[in-house]
């Protein structure tokens, strides 16, 4: 019994319990917000989210115990899982109300494969960059061709099959952060910027649907795209009204006009627009708490990465932080009218079991990197990275 207690104490000391409690606090606040946002929609949402939270907690501790390096060594299986999950959308995928084929549904349960694929992509890219940095020339044309080829194939397949621009853009942002952190020469970023400048007009004319174009341009020319205000701009306008009506302290839980209106209010109030609902019912104070919690989680991931003495561990932690940062920025910008509506969840707060337990799994990987720092003789790179 004494041994078991010492094992538990050792685990709690070595695992990143600060990161765990930050994630738990954010998730509990999210559960409260979802409970209020879905008060007129039935209790099934809160049951599903609570169940996903319990799975997420279990995954956090499981991935803390799993050595991320051993996990990444199985990269052929990870590649199969990465592309296999996307290909499953082509066969079993179902469309949501935005027209994206981003969900697999069975027995009333919906799974969004992109949430899992994002974490797999971070691990694979971190492993590839570490290998190239240690055994090859990281900035050689061949190395960049491999890295960019992986990204383009993943991005292209996902966009063609699902049409989900939001999660596709996460891959690009994570890729840019990781290659910068790994030390890829800056001239490649100039080439990349030029390639994007050439590719955007082609994608705009031949890839993006009319609905996607309107969603991208809406925050900037709303009067031209939806002059009546009853079309595509309805929810973004309701979100801004919700935020403005909350003022400092909010209207109170279950009291928000836009949040509690069953017809004519926010439709995606528990998912894409959860930040607006928090702003209405918890006020600016609630919004600040949300941002501070997520920023603390992001900074904790960065801290663990910088102090882990492992290039692979550092890149994984920074990749997870980049994913969170992009989704936080987009979710807040979407509700305030600063960024396009591209359907990304607010991590730990938005309704979505796939998003919640995947986020906890990602945090578990970060915790596992802190759990087992590399011995000095196996450290390939110093803290300068």
Name the pLDDT band for 98 (thresholds 50, 70, 90).
low
The domain in which residue 172 lies consists of 17-378
Q: Can you give the pLDDT at residue 1?
A: 44
Residue with tokens 């941002």: 291
Q: Can you give the pLDDT at residue 99?
A: 67
261: left (phi over 0), alpha (psi -120 to 50) or beta: beta
Q: Give the pTM.
A: 0.92
Q: Would you say residue 4 lies in a domain? A: no
| pLDDT > 70? residue 264 | no
Tokens of 382: 């110093």
Q: Would you say residue 385 lies in a domain? A: no
Tokens of 217: 């341009």
Q: Give the list of residues 6+ apart from residue 46 with CB closer than 8 angstroms, or none.
A: 31, 34, 35, 38
What Å distances lie between residue 45 and 275, 300, 327, 351, CA to CA?
17, 30, 22, 8
- Give tens-digit pLDDT for 157-213: 998 898 888 899 999 999 999 999 999 999 999 999 999 899 888 888 877 777 778
Q: Would you say residue 383 lies in a domain? A: no
Name the pLDDT band for 382 (thresholds 50, 70, 90).
very low
Q: Quick one: which H or E segment has residue 111?
A: strand 109-111
Q: Which residue has the higher pLDDT, 67 or 380?
A: 67
Judge whether 128 and 149 are in contact, CB under 8 Å: no
**Which residues on neighbouring strands pair with residue 59, listed in sequence order?**
none
Q: Would you say residue 12 lies in a domain? A: no
Compute the average pLDDT of residues 97-111. 76
- Cβ neighbour number for residue 185 with a 10 Å cutoff: 13
Query: In angstroms, how far is the first alpha carbon of the chain from the final one?
Result: 42
User: CA angle 71-143-320, nearest 5°?
Assistant: 40
| pLDDT > 60? residue 379 | no
Tell which residue, 234, 238, 284, 259, has the closest CA to residue 34.
259
Count of structural domains within the chain: 1
Judge whether 270 and 41 are in contact, CB under 8 Å: yes
Compute the average pLDDT of residues 240-266. 84
Q: Would you say residue 332 lies in a domain? A: yes
- Give tens-digit pLDDT for 269-318: 888 899 999 999 999 999 999 999 999 999 999 999 999 888 999 999 99
Judge whether 247 and 256 are in contact, CB under 8 Å: no
Q: Can you give the pLDDT at residue 322?
A: 97
Three-class DSSP category at 261: coil
Measured CA to CA, the distance from residue 309 to residue 378 in angstroms comes to 9
Backbone angles phi, psi at 106, to 5 degrees: -155, 140
Compute the average pLDDT of residues 114-129. 95
- Cβ neighbour number for residue 239 with a 10 Å cutoff: 26
Tokens of 245: 């009506």
Tell which residue, 332, 334, 312, has the closest CA to residue 324.
332
| pLDDT > 90? residue 324 | yes
Q: Would you say residue 10 lies in a domain? A: no
- Cβ neighbour number for residue 218 with a 10 Å cutoff: 19
Average the pLDDT over each of 42-46, 71-75, 103-107, 152-156 and give the range with the smallest value.
103-107
Q: Which residue has the higher pLDDT, 144 or 111?
A: 144
77-90 per-residue burial string, b: 16 or more CB within 10 A, e: under 16: ebeebbbebbeebe
Q: Can you give the pLDDT at residue 164?
A: 84
Q: Which residue has the higher pLDDT, 90 or 365?
A: 365
Measured CA to CA, the distance from residue 237 to residue 216 in angstroms comes to 15
Compute the average pLDDT of residues 46-70. 93
Measured CA to CA, the distance from residue 126 to residue 312 in angstroms comes to 6
Q: Would you say residue 360 lies in a domain? A: yes
Measured CA to CA, the distance from residue 113 to residue 88 in angstroms comes to 9
Name the pLDDT band for 84 (thresholds 50, 70, 90).
very high
Tell which residue, 371, 373, 285, 331, has the closest CA to residue 63.
371
Measured CA to CA, the distance from residue 287 to residue 270 in angstroms comes to 15
| pLDDT > 90? residue 43 | no
Name the pLDDT band for 218 (thresholds 50, 70, 90).
confident
Three-class DSSP category at 305: helix
Three-class DSSP category at 374: coil
Q: What DSSP assignment string belongs to 86-110?
A: HHHHHHHEE--TTS---EEEETTEE
Compute the average pLDDT of residues 233-251. 87
| pLDDT > 70? residue 373 | no
Tell which residue, 324, 239, 247, 260, has the closest CA to residue 286.
247
Q: Can you give the pLDDT at residue 349?
A: 95
Q: Would you say residue 45 lies in a domain? A: yes
Backbone angles phi, psi at 162, to 5 degrees: -100, -35
Q: Give the list of residues 6+ apart from residue 277 with CB closer than 8 angstroms, or none.
A: 33, 36, 37, 242, 256, 258, 259, 266, 269, 270
């Amino acid at each position: 019994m004494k041994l078991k207690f010492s094992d538990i104490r050792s685990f709690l000391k070595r695992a990143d319990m600060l990161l765990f409690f930050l994630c738990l606090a954010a998730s509990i606040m999210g559960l409260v917000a979802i409970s209020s946002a879905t008060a007129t929609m039935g209790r099934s949402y809160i049951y599903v989210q609570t169940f996903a939270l319990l799975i997420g907690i279990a995954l956090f501790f499981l991935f803390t115990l799993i050595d991320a390096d051993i996990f990444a060594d199985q990269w052929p299986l990870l590649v199969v899982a990465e592309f296999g999950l996307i290909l499953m959308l082509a066969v079993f995928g179902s469309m949501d109300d935005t027209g994206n084929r981003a969900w697999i549904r069975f027995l009333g349960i919906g799974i969004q494969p992109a949430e899992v694929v994002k974490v797999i992509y971070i691990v694979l890219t971190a492993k590839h960059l570490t290998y190239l940095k240690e055994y090859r020339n990281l900035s050689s044309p061949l190395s960049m061709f491999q890295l960019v080829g992986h990204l383009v194939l993943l991005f292209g397949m996902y966009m063609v099959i699902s049409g989900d621009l939001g999660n596709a853009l996460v891959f690009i942002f994570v890729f840019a952060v990781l290659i910068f952190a790994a030390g890829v020469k800056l001239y490649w970023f100039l080439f990349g910027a030029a390639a994007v400048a050439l590719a955007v007009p082609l994608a705009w004319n031949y890839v993006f649907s009319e609905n996607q174009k309107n969603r991208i341009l809406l925050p900037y020319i709303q009067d031209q795209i939806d002059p009546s205000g009853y079309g595509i701009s309805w929810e973004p306008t309701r979100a801004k009204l919700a935020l403005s009506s909350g003022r400092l302290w909010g209207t109170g839980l279950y009291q928000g006009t836009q949040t509690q209106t069953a017809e004519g209010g926010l439709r995606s109030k528990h998912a894409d627009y959860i930040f607006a609902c928090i702003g209405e019912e918890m006020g600016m104070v609630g919004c600040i708490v949300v941002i501070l919690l997520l920023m603390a989680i992001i900074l904790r991931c960065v801290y663990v990465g910088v102090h882990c003495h492992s290039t692979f561990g550092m890149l994984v932690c920074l990749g997870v932080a980049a994913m969170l940062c992009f989704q936080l920025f987009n979710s807040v910008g979407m509700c305030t009218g600063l960024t396009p509506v591209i359907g990304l969840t607010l991590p730990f707060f938005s309704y979505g079991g796939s998003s919640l337990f995947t986020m906890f799994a990602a945090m578990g990987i970060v915790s596992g990197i802190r759990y087992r720092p590399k011995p000095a003789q196996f450290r390939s790179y110093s803290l300068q990275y």
